[in-house]
């Protein structure tokens, strides 16, 4: 049975779709009508429900994503390493971690805004808080948009991965590219792997199934492997390495005798030597393919020697499984996938070797009962009347008698209970299994309370060790405190350091005084309204007397206070113009009065900003662009205004034919109003 079905993982929407799904569901599943006349508690409950429902939907969606994607530490090491090779384990974990963080942030946002909504004092305040809460949740989702898109790509790729069961009977095919691995798999299984006359036709793992002795075997075709350092191998080769490293399978290492794959036998032997550590504890079979082009007997002596070395390495796996060193039948096999010569023999040998290994492992394990259906017990029939008793050695009989005596000697608690009166009378002693220096101490009565104190509170077998640890820790802390002592006294500092310290302290005091002066200025103090100054304590005369007593000129301060207390009038600007008229140029009286009027008007009234003027922060380049934006805005609302809509959300369908105008008899008179 396949344990991992990645095709069931739910589709991961992107950030924008995620927000649309959740908000549309909130709109559909929660009430939408609210009025100002409702009680404030009802308004609060209305908007709190929307915030909570949105948070629950986000939480469910994100939790589904986190739970359905496999955790690399919990799944089989084969799938863990395969996912790491294909997608990079760190990026995968980081994406899932961001999803989890977003889920926690949304829960925190909902919690905070529900608290604020509990104290909302109006419909507008509650609605604003709801909009802010949903907006912040959507912002969090939009920020994890790249992670959602990455996980969706991974989900699509994982859905296309073959369903490989790491624990079932498996045959693994490996070797150089273009040596006939996919052709062999197509012959023995119903899989349809693409076969082409160039290298790396197979770029991922392919799975097929075959039967042998009424048992189903899983056949895995791996991409070709090149003989190069581990760090230089690409993702395609690493898929094969991962399968070889983690799957308990019978390994078929393919050799191309003819060299038509583009690699010599020496290169193929070098590849075998570089990856032979992956074949440990696995049944290994060397398959010499394409014997129709080059028989095994017709190769050179050097190549023959290399093949014998490979065969010797393969024999070590046979010996490691408990086989005989002379059993060379299922180690080196020849075949041709073109003529199908020897294909079935290779398949049967691999299945037999794998089956024998799995049976031996189960015989050594405690699950022997699961394998009993493979054994057949033959019961011989007597051929004559002569008795043939079994011959049991005397040593075995003595051992059995000794074992029976020990079993008879040992008494269980149930036996003791029956001997001593049965249940309710016999009380099992919990002290008889105590490990003490003297067995006589087991039944001693221990005092629990002595002089009003619990005895166990004063028993500590490790008290001396703990005391020693405390003294050691106290010594270390004292040493650290002595090392960390640092006092800014003049005795410990050099003259240059003392001068620097004095400068620092002087600068600090100066900054403190400057800050206090700023805080005490009149600009930072609030203006006292006249209605609170009933006793006339805050007057300009009193301020003038206080400033004069301090030796300051109070005229400017009094003038400023009076200018703030009274509004500016037009004639004041005229007077000011007349006051300094002695230094001004002699100009025509009419022109002077006109200029004064203009100046006074500009001072008394502020001119409004023209619509085309660009305000910083609007995001517009110049006034031309702003004028164009205004025109487009007016054009966009023209249709809405023409239809007498109040806004974009006004979707009211008016009655096209009012009943009172289009029913009944036509009376005498005008009918224009119809």
Interatomic CA distance for residues 281 and 24, integer angstroms: 58
Res. 135: pLDDT tops 90 = yes
> Measuring CA to CA, which residue among 18, 6, 8 is closest to residue 148?
18
Each domain of the chain, given as residue ranges in start order, spans: 6-160, 170-365
Q: Which of 127-131, 258-262, 425-429, 609-613 is modeled with the greatest confidence?
A: 127-131
| Neighbour tally for 93: CB within 10 Å | 13
pLDDT given at position 578:
44
10/294: higher pLDDT: 10
CATH of span 170-365: 3.40.50.300
Segment 135-154 shows an average pLDDT of 92
Enumerate the β-bridge partners of residue 470: none
Tokens representing 354?
A: 């794998």
Residue 307: its pLDDT value, please?
83
**Token representation of residue 381:** 């029939």
CA distance 646 to 652: 10
Confidence (pLDDT) at 277 = 81
| Residue environment code for 324-346, b if the CB has 16+ CB neighbours within 10 A, otherwise e | eeeeeebbbbbbbbeeeebbeeb
Q: Which two tokens stand for residue 76?
A: 């089989």
Helices (H), 173-220: 181-188
Check residue 143 and give its pLDDT: 93
pLDDT tens digits, one per residue of 617-659: 778 888 889 999 999 999 988 988 888 888 888 888 877 777 7
Please report the pLDDT score of residue 101 as a whole number.
Answer: 94
What span, in angstroms and rounded, lies between the C-alpha atoms of 103 and 67? 13
Q: How large is the average pLDDT for residues 411-416?
A: 82
Residue 392 has pLDDT above 50, yes or no: yes
Least-confidence region, from 38-42, 275-279, 506-510, 563-567: 563-567
Per-residue pLDDT for 402 more than 80?
yes
pLDDT of residue 61: 92
Could you report the per-residue pLDDT of 360-381, keeping only the tens digit for each? 877 777 667 666 677 777 887 8
The highest-confidence range among 36-40, 46-50, 187-191, 325-329, by mean pLDDT, is: 46-50
pLDDT tens per residue, range 552-570: 788 888 887 777 665 555 5
Which one-letter DSSP state was computed for residue 121? -
Name the one residue in this structure whose structure tokens are 């649309």. 20
Q: Where residue 591 falls among pLDDT bands split at 50, 70, 90? A: low
pLDDT at 464: 83
Q: What is the mean pLDDT of residues 394-416?
A: 84
Name the pLDDT band for 571 (thresholds 50, 70, 90): very low
Q: Where are the beta strands (DSSP E) in 188-305?
A: 206-212, 215-221, 250-256, 284-289
pLDDT tens digits for range 148-157? 999 998 888 8
Question: What span, in angstroms and rounded, lies between the C-alpha atoms of 153 and 42?
Answer: 45
pLDDT averaged over every residue in the chain = 80
Residue 587: its pLDDT value, please?
45
CA distance 355 to 357: 5
Q: Evaluate if residue 99 carries a pLDDT over 90.
A: yes
What's the pLDDT at 573?
45
pLDDT (0 to 100) of residue 1: 38
pLDDT over threshold 80, residue 523: no
3-state secondary structure (DSSP) of residue 76: coil
* Alpha carbons within 13 A on the beta-carbon side of 99: 30
Instruction: Return the higher-pLDDT residue of 76 and 507.
Output: 507
Question: Cα–Cα distance between 149 and 536 in angstroms, integer?
Answer: 71
Q: Is the pLDDT of residue 32 over 90?
A: no
Model confidence at 605, in pLDDT bands (50, 70, 90)? low
Flag whether pLDDT at 144 surpasses 80.
yes
The pLDDT of residue 326 is above 50? no
Biggest CA–CA distance in the chain, Å, is: 162
Number of other residues whose CB lies within 10 A of the CB of residue 429: 12
* Proportion of the chain above pLDDT 70, given as a percent: 84
According to DSSP H, which parts of 69-215 are helical?
77-87, 89-117, 123-143, 145-159, 181-188
Label residue 321 by pLDDT band (50, 70, 90). Answer: low
Least confident of 190-199, 310-319, 662-671: 662-671
Position 114 pLDDT exceeds 90: yes
CATH number at 6-160: 1.20.120.1190
Cα 314 → chain centroid: 44
Over residues 511-540, the mean pLDDT reads: 70
Return the structure tokens found at 202. 């197979």
Predicted pLDDT at 576: 45
* Range with lowest mean pLDDT among 70-74, 475-479, 525-529, 581-585: 581-585
Predicted pLDDT at 130: 93
pLDDT in tens, 263-319: 888 888 888 888 888 888 888 888 888 888 878 777 888 888 888 888 888 777 766
pLDDT at 584 over 50: no
- Specify the DSSP class assigned to residue 11: P
| CA 556 to chain CA centroid, nearest Å | 67
pLDDT at 462: 82
Three-state SS sequence of 146-160: HHHHHHHHHHHHHHC
Distance CA 313, CA 328 (A): 12
In a 10 Å sphere around its CB, with 0-12 CB exposed, 13-18 middle and 19+ buried, how is residue 161 labelled? middle
For the chain, give the percent of residues with pLDDT over 90.
16
Cβ neighbors of 423 (< 8 A, separation 6 or more) are 417
CA atoms within 13 A on the CB side of 595: 8
């Amino acid at each position: 049975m396949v344990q991992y079905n990645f095709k069931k993982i739910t589709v991961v929407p992107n950030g924008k779709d995620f927000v649309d799904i959740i908000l549309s569901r909130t709109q559909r599943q929660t009430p939408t009508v609210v009025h100002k006349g409702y009680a404030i508690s009802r308004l609060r409950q209305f908007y709190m429900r929307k915030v909570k429902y949105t948070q629950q939907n986000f939480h469910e969606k994100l939790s589904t994503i986190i739970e359905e994607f496999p955790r690399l530490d919990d799944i089989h090491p084969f799938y863990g390493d395969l996912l790491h090779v294909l997608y990079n384990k760190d990026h995968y974990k980081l994406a899932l971690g961001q999803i989890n963080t977003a889920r926690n942030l949304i829960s925190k946002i909902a919690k905070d805004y529900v608290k604020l909504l509990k104290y909302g004092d109006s419909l507008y305040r509650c609605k604003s808080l709801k909009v802010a809460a949903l907006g912040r949740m959507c912002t969090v989702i939009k920020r994890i948009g790249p992670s959602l898109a990455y996980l969706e790509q991974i989900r699509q790729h994982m859905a296309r991965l073959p369903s490989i069961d790491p624990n079932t009977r498996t045959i693994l095919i490996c070797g150089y590219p273009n040596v006939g691995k996919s052709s062999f798999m197509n012959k023995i299984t119903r899989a349809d792997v693409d076969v082409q006359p160039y290298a790396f036709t197979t770029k991922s793992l392919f799975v097929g199934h075959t039967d042998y002795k009424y048992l189903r075997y899983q056949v895995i075709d791996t991409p070709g492997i090149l003989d190069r350092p581990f760090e230089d191998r690409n993702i395609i080769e690493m898929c094969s390495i991962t399968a070889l490293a983690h799957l308990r399978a019978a390994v078929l290492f393919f050799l191309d005798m003819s060299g038509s794959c583009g690699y010599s036998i020496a290169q193929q032997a070098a590849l075998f030597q570089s990856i032979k550590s992956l074949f440990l504890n696995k049944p290994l079979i060397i398959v010499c393919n394409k014997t129709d082009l080059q028989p095994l007997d017709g190769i050179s002596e050097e190549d023959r020697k290399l093949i014998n070395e490979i065969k010797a390495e393969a024999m070590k796996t046979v010996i490691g499984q408990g086989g005989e060193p002379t059993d060379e039948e299922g180690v080196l096999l020849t075949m041709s996938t073109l003529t199908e010569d020897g294909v079935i023999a290779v398949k049967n040998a691999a299945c037999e070797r794998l089956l024998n290994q799995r049976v031996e492992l189960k015989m050594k394990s405690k699950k022997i009962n699961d394998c009993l259906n493979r054994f057949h017990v033959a019961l011989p029939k007597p051929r004559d009347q002569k008795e043939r008793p079994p011959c049991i050695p005397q040593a075995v009989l003595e051992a059995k008698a000794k074992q029976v005596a020990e079993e008879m000697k040992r008494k269980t608690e149930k036996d003791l209970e029956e001997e001593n009166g049965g249940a309710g009378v016999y009380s099992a002693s919990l002290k008889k299994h105590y490990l003490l220096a003297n067995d006589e101490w087991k039944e001693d009565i221990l005092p629990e309370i002595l002089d009003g104190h619990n005895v166990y509170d004063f028993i500590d077998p490790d008290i001396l060790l703990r005391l020693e640890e405390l003294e050691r820790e106290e010594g270390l802390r004292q040493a650290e405190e002595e090392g960390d002592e640092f006092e800014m006294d003049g005795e410990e500092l050099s003259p240059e350091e003392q001068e620097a310290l004095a400068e620092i302290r002087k600068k600090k005091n100066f900054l403190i005084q400057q800050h206090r002066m700023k805080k005490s200025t009149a600009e930072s103090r609030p203006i006292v309204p006249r209605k609170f100054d009933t006793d006339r304590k805050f007057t300009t005369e009193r301020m003038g007397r206080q400033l004069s007593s301090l030796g300051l000129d109070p005229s400017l301060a009094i003038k400023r206070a009076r200018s703030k207390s009274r509004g500016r009038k037009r004639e004041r600007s005229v007077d000011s113009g007349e006051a300094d008229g002695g230094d001004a140029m002699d100009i025509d009286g009419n022109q002077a009065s006109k200029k004064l009027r203009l100046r006074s008007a500009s001072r008394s009234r502020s001119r409004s900003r023209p619509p085309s003027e660009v305000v910083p922060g609007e995001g517009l380049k110049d006034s031309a662009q702003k004028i164009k934006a205004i025109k487009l805005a007016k054009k966009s609302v023209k249709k809405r205004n023409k239809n007498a809509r109040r806004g974009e959300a006004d979707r009211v369908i008016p009655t096209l034919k009012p009943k009172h105008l289009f029913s009944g008899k036509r009376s005498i008179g005008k009918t224009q109003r119809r």
